[in-house]
Amino acid sequence: MCNTRFVVMASFLLVLGFSSLSSASAKVSSLAFQHDAGSSGRRSEPQRPLKPPFPNGPCGGTIVAIPPEDTFGIDAKLAGNPVLLPPRALYVWLPSDYHQSNDQDNDEQEQKRYPVLYCHDGQNAMEDSSSWTGASWRLAGALTRLKQRKMISQIPIVVMLPSAEGDFVPGVRRRHLEYGDMNNVFAQAHVDFVVETVKPLIDATFRTLVEPHHTFAIGSSLGGQASFHMLLRHPDVFGGVACMSPAFQPATLAAVVSDSNQQQELSLSNNHDYGATWWKDKRIYLDMGGDLNEEKVQWFDMMDHLTPKHWWNPGYFWLDTQLKPSLQAMLLALQLKKIPHSYTTFPGARHNERAWSQRIDRPLMHLFGPSDNAVTDN
């Protein structure tokens, strides 16, 4: 009898305890729901932390191809010479909301205009499959994540400028000529082609914000050099530049430290008298990896080879360390001229697209996020 009573009482306590626990859990769940839902009454989606790897591909955006006859074919200057600049297609990435047509926002969306980012080595920017190392910068993925977290005010249209392929003569890469020093006629033709032919076409075809403070360039390695060349040669067109692991050349360095008369000559080529204040209100981002203090570049990184395409190619992974002297010279020039800029180091980082994809959010935040253009070294 005692055993029976004990079993009944134990069962009753067990049921009571389970009910209390369920009630407490329900209250916690209800509180959690209210916390997530806020005033909307709906549970918010969990947000991933902002860290690489960023998504690959266009991320809901649209990629539009511009055939070479629409650009190279109409340029009557040096860029129209196929010996200097071989014709090739260009590609434009439109953000996912570019073609949105929600009923209530349709009129506003039709009027919405976008800043523009001109991207050197555009074939390496978004799609892993098109990159020469099998890994891209994941540019669209980073922009999308930054916008979701409201770390940038607006996603830009991205104009991808594929670099030239092949040799001009045996042993002289066309890319090295187009992205070369400022006194190089190939490099001058490339920069003027983008400004005088490509940009007018982009502005006429898409809903862009055409002012300099909405127009930027980005590049890595020699693409960083070419991007800085654009800013120096056409300060009336570009409002900023991002250079990842840049390979700066002597004439480009000299243009920064030159006196006002020489800089004025560059500016007056576009009928704009910038003189010694060409850098006013510009956003300049520089970074570098390589050996730094105790951090050394690894001679082998398995992650460089886990790609479906070009798995065998890690790029010039060692090169950041060799590029440091020219970058230090640029930093000294910028400091001497008191030109605002941002400089960030990534100890041990390699010189390839996968390494740049690990930090692509940093230059994008500097160009499109809130910034006071203060010099930062870290």
d(CA 320, CA 351): 6
114 has which bridge partners?
Answer: 208
171 has which bridge partners?
Answer: none
Give the predicted TM-score (pTM) of the model: 0.82
Strands (E), the chain: 62-66, 90-94, 116-120, 157-161, 167-169, 172-173, 215-220, 240-244, 283-288, 342-345, 376-377
246: closest CA among 313, 311, 334, 170?
334
C-beta separation of 220 from 285 below 8 A: no
State residue 367's pLDDT score.
Answer: 97
State residue 83's pLDDT score.
Answer: 81
State residue 44's pLDDT score.
Answer: 52
d(CA 235, CA 212): 8
What is residue 196's DSSP assignment?
A: I
Strand, coil or helix: 39:
helix
State residue 28's pLDDT score.
Answer: 29
Ordered alpha helix ranges (H), 183-292: 185-193, 199-205, 222-233, 250-257, 260-268
C-beta separation of 244 from 363 below 8 A: yes
Pull the structure tokens for residue 263. 């800089």
For 5, 8, 15, 21, 23, the CA distances from 12, given in Å and listed in that order, are 10, 6, 5, 14, 16
Torsional class of 74: left (φ above 0), alpha (ψ -120 to 50), beta (otherwise): alpha
- Helix H or strand E segment including 326: helix 319-336
177: closest CA among 167, 169, 186?
186
Task: State the amino acid at position 325 in one-letter form.
Answer: P
C-beta separation of 173 from 167 below 8 A: yes
Is 173 exposed, middle or buried, given 0-12, 13-18 or 19+ CB atoms closer than 10 A?
middle
State residue 32's pLDDT score.
Answer: 31
State residue 306's pLDDT score.
Answer: 82
First to last CA, the chain: 78
What is the pLDDT tens value at each position of the chain, 378 positions in all? 434 443 333 443 333 343 333 333 333 233 232 333 333 344 555 666 788 999 999 999 999 999 999 998 776 666 667 888 999 999 999 999 998 854 455 565 568 999 999 999 999 999 999 998 989 999 999 999 999 999 999 999 999 999 999 999 899 999 999 999 999 999 999 999 999 999 999 999 999 999 999 999 999 999 999 999 999 999 999 999 999 999 999 999 999 988 543 444 554 455 555 555 778 889 999 999 999 888 999 888 888 888 878 887 788 899 999 999 999 999 999 999 999 999 999 999 999 999 999 999 999 999 999 865 444 555
d(CA 326, CA 335): 14
241 has which bridge partners?
Answer: 217, 284
The CATH homologous superfamily to which domain 62-100+111-260+278-368 belongs is Alpha/Beta hydrolase fold, catalytic domain (3.40.50.1820)
Going 140 to 146 to 150 to 156, the CA torsion angle's sign is negative
243: closest CA among 222, 261, 215, 266?
222
